[in-house]
Amino acid sequence: MARTTPARSQFRPAAGIDQSILREHKGLLAEIDRRKLLRGTLSLGALTMLTGCDVADDGSVRKALLAVSQWNDRVQAAIFRGDHLAPTYPESAVLKPARFNAYYDVEEIRPLDGATWTLELAGLIGDKRRWTAQQMAALPETELIVRHICVEGWDYVGQWSGVRLKDFLQRIGADLTAKYVAFTCADDYTESIDMATALHPQTILATRYGREPITDPFGYPLRLRMGTKLGFKNAKWITAISVTNTFPETFWSKQGFNWFAGI
Amino acid sequence: MDGMTMKVAEVEPSPPARLHPLPLRLMHWINAAAMLIMIASGWKIYNDEVIFGWLHVPDAITLGKYAQHALQWHFFGMWVIALNGLAYLIYGIVTGRFRRKLFPIWPHEVLATVRDALTFRLRHDDLTHYNAVQRVLYVGIILVGIVVVLSGLAIWKPVQLSGLLVLFYDFQTARLVHFLCMAAIVLFLAVHVALALLVPRSLLAMLTGGPRVDPASSHSAAMPAE
């Protein structure tokens, strides 16, 4: 499929930045980062020895813990295997209805109108035409009966179906060598995943649960469902998908939750 | 033979090593700090989805303002406790410390020690020798330490490490095992700290190294074996 170069941003200087300086000091830059991590880790250990000091609220401790969390992102990406499947279950194990969870109560959900809803595409994508709910529902479906595991510790088995994200990205001419796929949701939720997970066979854009169209609390008309990530990564009520090489912070990563959140 | 080796061969044999050599003491205190981080942050994470409805941990003794901060602490401490624990296991096996100090364990000795303890006849004058009950508890807590790390890995990566998760049956039973290991560690910690405070020499030994011991025996060089 043809890949197109994204249009140059009008905010980007025409001449660009001299990359040779960056290249020249690449080693130094990496070293500074490593030192910071090491120093942060050491001072963390020392601080915990002190009593009567609320270390959790200390700014430098916060930064060190976040640095470790980013290191954990890298470790998780390294151990992720694109061909390793999450265990699947028989239909008899499926919980109906699914368990609701969001950053607000179920009474506060704002249902979307499937007739007027469209999916917006942005970033490193060849064909950015919008998709309607009918068009999405007509795509070839994959069914996923996998365990949903929440970062809080609860879990249930769900039965989701919809188009494989990999197939959809290929169909719209997305740059599959880009680093991230980001999702914007109708409830002001934002989510992003690594490309390796986006291309995993158990990553789908779900339109059905238990063979029926997904209902309002669970992200109608379109939601993300992955067998290899924690529950909160599975964006609901998706309104836009973008493919990018710039790290997209997410609703929860901004609040300190681990970004990769692989299982 | 060159000059360097000659010189080494000529010097007096070094005095016997301390009861707790420096690397062991370092690993002990790193483990102590990391264990406190893991327990306190683990309690905060547990509170978000309790296993027992009657059991919520008071926020005053948990670590991390909200769950995400507790998770950050937990997944930082994870590296410290796992790498330090691995170093400890390798050290214990390679130096023969486990074999010398923790084995053999005979059931009749365990029973005799329990009897002595219950009748207040248990002696603590030789710090360098672990009685049968101590041996059982130390071997037990090392095993618990291994299981708590494995069950933790299974909870962290139930898909990537799905083979490991099967050992614990499923995700919720792995969580339960992780919780029960924590409970065993907290129980051990209570007894361990209480006894260390009752016999302050033992606490001091873990700071300064304690008496020098003949590496060939598990007993103190200065004190005859009983």
| DSSP secondary structure, B166-225, as one string | HHTSSHHHHHHHHHHHHHHHHHHHHHHHHHHHHSHHHHHHHHH--SBB-TTSSSBSSS--
Are residues A153 and A28 both part of a single domain?
A: no
pLDDT at B120 (0 to 100): 84
Kindly state whether residue A221 falls inside one of the protein's structural domains: yes
Asked if pLDDT for residue B4 goes beyond 90, the answer is no
| Cross-chain Cβ contact A69/B30 below 8 Å | no
pLDDT at A42 (0 to 100): 60
Q: Are A250 and A169 in contact (CB under 8 A)?
A: no
Kindly state whether residue B8 falls inside one of the protein's structural domains: no
A61 to chain B: nearest residue by CA? B73
Are residues B81 and B41 both part of a single domain?
A: yes
Kindly state whether residue B174 falls inside one of the protein's structural domains: yes
How many alpha carbons fall within 13 Å on the CB side of residue B90? 8
B157 to chain A: nearest residue by CA? A263
Q: Which of A124, A130, A251 is nearest to A195 (CA)?
A: A124
| Cross-chain Cβ contact A262/B45 below 8 Å | no
Kindly state whether residue A30 falls inside one of the protein's structural domains: yes
Distance between CA B173 and CA B5 in Å, rounded? 58
Kindly state whether residue B54 falls inside one of the protein's structural domains: no
Distance between CA B146 and CA B161 in Å, rounded? 16
| Cross-chain Cβ contact A256/B49 below 8 Å | no
Are residues B87 and B113 both part of a single domain?
A: no
Q: Which of B27, B76, B169 should we substitute to test contact with A (largest number of A Cβ atoms within 10 Å)? A: B76
pLDDT at B221 (0 to 100): 43
Selecting from A151, A153, A227 the residue whose C-beta is nearest the C-beta of B159 gives A227
Q: Is B80 on the interface with A (CB under 8 A)?
A: yes
Confidence band (pLDDT; 50, 70, 90) for B177? Answer: very high
Instruction: Give me the interface pTM, i.e. the ipTM.
Output: 0.86
pLDDT at B123 (0 to 100): 79
Å between B23 CA and nearest CA of chain A: 17
Are residues A27 and A95 both part of a single domain?
A: no
What is the rounded average pLDDT of the residues A32-56?
Answer: 56
| Cross-chain Cβ contact B157/A79 below 8 Å | yes
Query: Which residues of A fall within a CB distance of 8 Å from B30?
Result: 45
Are residues B32 and B119 both part of a single domain?
A: no
Are residues A50 and A118 both part of a single domain?
A: no
Asked if pLDDT for residue B164 goes beyond 90, the answer is yes
Size of interface A-B (CB pairs under 8 A): 81
Are residues A208 and A159 both part of a single domain?
A: yes
Confidence band (pLDDT; 50, 70, 90) for B10? Answer: low
Give pLDDT tens digits for B42-93: 999 999 999 999 999 999 999 999 999 999 999 999 999 999 999 999 999 9
Selecting from A79, A153, A255 the residue whose C-beta is nearest the C-beta of B160 gives A79
pLDDT at A52 (0 to 100): 46
Give pLDDT tens digits for B178-219: 999 999 999 999 999 999 999 999 999 999 999 998 765 544
| Cross-chain Cβ contact B76/A68 below 8 Å | yes
The distance in angstroms from the start CA to the end CA of chain B is 44
Query: Which residues of B fall within a CB distance of 8 Å from A81?
Result: 160
Query: Which residues of B fall within a CB distance of 8 Å from A57?
Result: 65
Residues 161-180 of B with CB under 8 A from A: 162, 171-172, 175
B37 to chain A: nearest residue by CA? A48
| Cross-chain Cβ contact B160/A66 below 8 Å | no
Q: Are B42 and B182 in contact (CB under 8 A)?
A: yes
Count the domains in chain B: 2
| Cross-chain Cβ contact B160/A228 below 8 Å | yes
pLDDT at B14 (0 to 100): 75
Are residues A130 and A171 both part of a single domain?
A: yes
Q: Is A151 on the interface with B (CB under 8 A)?
A: yes
How many alpha carbons fall within 13 Å on the CB side of residue A79? 18
Asked if pLDDT for residue B226 goes beyond 50, the answer is no
Q: Is B52 on the interface with A (CB under 8 A)?
A: no
B128 alpha carbon, distance to own chain's centre: 17
Supply the DSSP symbol for B12: P
Are residues B84 and B96 both part of a single domain?
A: yes
Å between A231 CA and nearest CA of chain B: 13
Q: Are B205 and A189 in contact (CB under 8 A)?
A: no
pLDDT at B220 (0 to 100): 46
Classified as helix, coil or strand, B138 is helix
Helices and strands counted in chain B (H then E): 9, 0
Q: Is A251 on the interface with B (CB under 8 A)?
A: no
pLDDT at B9 (0 to 100): 52
| Cross-chain Cβ contact A155/B172 below 8 Å | yes
Residues forming a β-bridge with B220: B213
Q: Are A87 and B162 in contact (CB under 8 A)?
A: yes
pLDDT at B122 (0 to 100): 82
What is the rounded average pLDDT of the residues A30-41?
Answer: 60
Asked if pLDDT for residue A51 goes beyond 50, the answer is no
What is the SS3 assignment for A219-256?
CCCCEEEECCECHHHCCCCEEEEEEECCCCCCCCHHHC
Classified as helix, coil or strand, A47 is helix
Count the domains in chain A: 2
The parent domain of residue A181 ranges over 91-255
Query: Which residues of A fall within a CB distance of 8 Å from B162?
Result: 84, 86-87
Selecting from A66, A149, A153 the residue whose C-beta is nearest the C-beta of B48 gives A153
pLDDT at B218 (0 to 100): 47
| Residues with Cβ within 8 Å of residue B53, at least 6 apart in sequence | none
What is the rounded average pLDDT of the residues A8-30?
Answer: 63
Q: Where a domain ends, among A31, A55, A78?
A: A78
Distance between CA A176 and CA A196 in Å, rounded? 9
Supply the DSSP symbol for A156: E
| Cross-chain Cβ contact B171/A149 below 8 Å | yes
Are residues B131 and B94 both part of a single domain?
A: no
Are residues B89 and B157 both part of a single domain?
A: no
| One-letter amino acid for residue A186 of the chain | A
Are residues B173 and B197 both part of a single domain?
A: yes
Distance between CA B97 and CA B179 in Å, rounded? 29
Confidence band (pLDDT; 50, 70, 90) for A71? Answer: very high
If one compares B207 and A49, the residue with the highest pLDDT of the two is: B207
Are residues A148 and A65 both part of a single domain?
A: no
pLDDT at A39 (0 to 100): 61
Kindly state whether residue A246 falls inside one of the protein's structural domains: yes
Which residue's structure tokens are 């560690």?
B185
Are residues B203 and B116 both part of a single domain?
A: yes
pLDDT at B16 (0 to 100): 85
Q: Is B158 on the interface with A (CB under 8 A)?
A: yes
Average pLDDT, chain A: 89
B76 alpha carbon, distance to own chain's centre: 19
Q: How many residues does chain A have?
A: 263
Kindly state whether residue A260 falls inside one of the protein's structural domains: no
Average pLDDT, chain B: 90
Give pLDDT tens digits for A198-239: 999 999 999 999 999 999 999 999 999 999 999 999 999 999
Identify the weakest region by mean pLDDT among A71-80, A182-191, B7-16: B7-16
Q: Is B76 on the interface with A (CB under 8 A)?
A: yes
The parent domain of residue B155 ranges over 103-208
If one compares B9 and A84, the residue with the highest pLDDT of the two is: A84
Selecting from A68, A150, A257 the residue whose C-beta is nearest the C-beta of B68 gives A257
